[in-house]
Amino acid sequence: MAKEKLVKAITSMEEDFAKWYTDVVIKAELIDYASVKGCMIIRPYGWAIWENIQRIMDGMFKETGHENVSMPMFIPESLLQKEKDHVEGFAPEVAWVTHGGAEKLEEKLCVRPTSETLFCDHYKNIIHSWRDLPKLYNQWCSVVRWEKTTRPFLRSREFHWQEGHTIHATAEEAQTETIRMLNVYAEFAEKYLAMPVIKGVKTEKERFAGAVDTYTIEAMMHDGKALQSGTSHFFGDGFAKAFGIQFTDKENKQATPFQTSWGVSTRLIGAIIMTHGDDNGLVLPPAIAPIQLVVIPIASHKEGVTEKATEVYERLKKVCRAKIDTTDNSPGWKFAEYEMKGVPLRLELGPRDIENNQCVLVRRDNGEKVVVSLDELETKVPEMLDAVRDGLFNKALANRTEKTYVATTMEEMIDIADNKPGFIKAMWCEDRACEEALKEKAGVSSRCMPFEQEQLTDKCICCGRPAKKMVYWGKAY
């Protein structure tokens, strides 16, 4: 009964996907709502997921030569104003500090929406010669953007993220870095989050404010909507010129450096929920799951069961993030609880299992039950965790394949957009007016121009003129 009741507490995703999402983040104890509207309290279980994301990504960044730094959270208004396109892009979302205690500040300070201007101000002071380059920096912090419509993890007024900022002697080096970090994001998403992504470049309309080019990884959620899951920006020398950053090159001449920035945020937790979750709650990829395996003693009132289960737990916590639940709740309640929390593997151990020197392992992703000898657990558990990851990736990839369509006429585009949620591949002439017309008529935005281009037709889907790019279009979070 306990499981039945708990599952009923989650709205079915087919009935109302948005309500299902909210139910899951609350009932799996990922967040609580804060007294500051549009902000969230990330609870221990939610923060543990973010810590695992941080730990893996931070290792990947350091392997590629990046160092962590910490910048102030406040930016003087005059500093923000230095890069025209950048400030215009962020102006509607900026939160301002006007007073320090009772005194009005001489100059307003904005709470950082992003830190490009702070890094530029710092680079100006530390970069003088080609020997000072490149600088490969990253910071983990929170930023503030005064969003009008918010949703836990996907869009909140304060959110946690990492922002990488690098500066190079040549445009080629900076371009190489921009793509390299996009590939790091794609590897992380697919290998550790079991989330297939499409790599590509954003259109000018969707480009980051102040960037020459913005590259993206786009993921498809269970409901067919897109989620931008990481971006990497090539800035050219625009920021450096605006901030007067110069260095003496190898020919002893004054030169202007080239910059990049790249970031992912706690929005990735929303992506995990919406890619892998089901009507019983979370389904977590093993790499970032706070608990990878939970041991549930069955008939624990019988002699020796709890002791044997504890012995198994002590062994397994050396090979994975394990937990044992010896509370007096019923096994059924425990099954539902850890399904809700998305724990990848459940180990059931009862008197008959102990007699036969075995246990039952249950996969969260597909419910498959496997009887395993207690002697083989140290090898079987890691194998099954890998199988869960592969199962999640393949299921998500199948969902994306099934919900990716081709449109060659405007009528097809509108029909698909209205009736079949998913990605729509269509040709485009690169005219912004056509991009805006597609948004107005079909309700879709350009997600990216993929690196792997296809020639679907030779005409733009909107105006019929010669097409230049194949674009993924869709509705997005």
- Grouping H, G, I as helix, E, B as strand and the rest as coil, residue 195 is coil
Instruction: Give the residue among 322, 346, 320, 344 at the shortest CA–CA distance from 334.
Output: 346
66-87 pLDDT, tens digit per residue, is 999 999 999 999 998 887 777 7
414-426 pLDDT, tens digit per residue, is 999 999 999 999 9
228-270 pLDDT, tens digit per residue, is 999 999 999 999 999 999 999 999 999 999 999 999 999 999 9
Domains of the chain: 66-268 (3.30.930.10), 291-387 (3.40.50.800), 404-474 (3.30.110.30)
pLDDT for res 18: 95
| C-alpha distance across the termini of the chain, in Å | 36
3-23 pLDDT, tens digit per residue, is 444 445 799 999 999 999 999
Instruction: Give the residue among 103, 121, 101 at the shortest CA–CA distance from 112.
Output: 121
Q: Dihedral sign, CA of 437, 441, 446, 452?
A: negative
d(CA 419, CA 403): 11
- Residue 406: pLDDT above 80? yes
Written as six digits, the tokens of 154 are 């996907």
Written as six digits, the tokens of 117 are 């201007």
How confident is the prediction for the chain on average, in pLDDT? Answer: 95
Neighbours of 77 (CB within 10 A): 14
pLDDT for res 8: 56
456-467 pLDDT, tens digit per residue, is 999 999 999 999
295 neighbors 359 (Cβ within 8 angstroms): no
297-348 pLDDT, tens digit per residue, is 998 889 999 999 999 999 999 999 999 999 999 999 999 999 999 999 999 9
pLDDT for res 440: 97
459 neighbors 465 (Cβ within 8 angstroms): yes
**Across 88-115, average pLDDT:** 93
Q: Please report which residue ranges of 64-166 form alpha helices under DSSP H.
A: 77-80, 84-90, 116-126
**Across 114-139, average pLDDT:** 97
Percent of the chain with pLDDT over 90: 93
Q: Model confidence at 2, in pLDDT bands (50, 70, 90)?
A: very low
- Residue 89: pLDDT above 80? no
**Across 102-128, average pLDDT:** 96
d(CA 350, CA 367): 19
d(CA 174, CA 167): 7
Q: Which residues of 422-453 are buried (b: 16+ CB within 10 A; e: fewer)?
A: bbbbbbbbbeeebbeebeeebebbbbbbbeee
Burial of 130 (0-12, 13-18, 19+ CB in 10 A): middle
pLDDT for res 3: 40
Written as six digits, the tokens of 261 are 């920035």
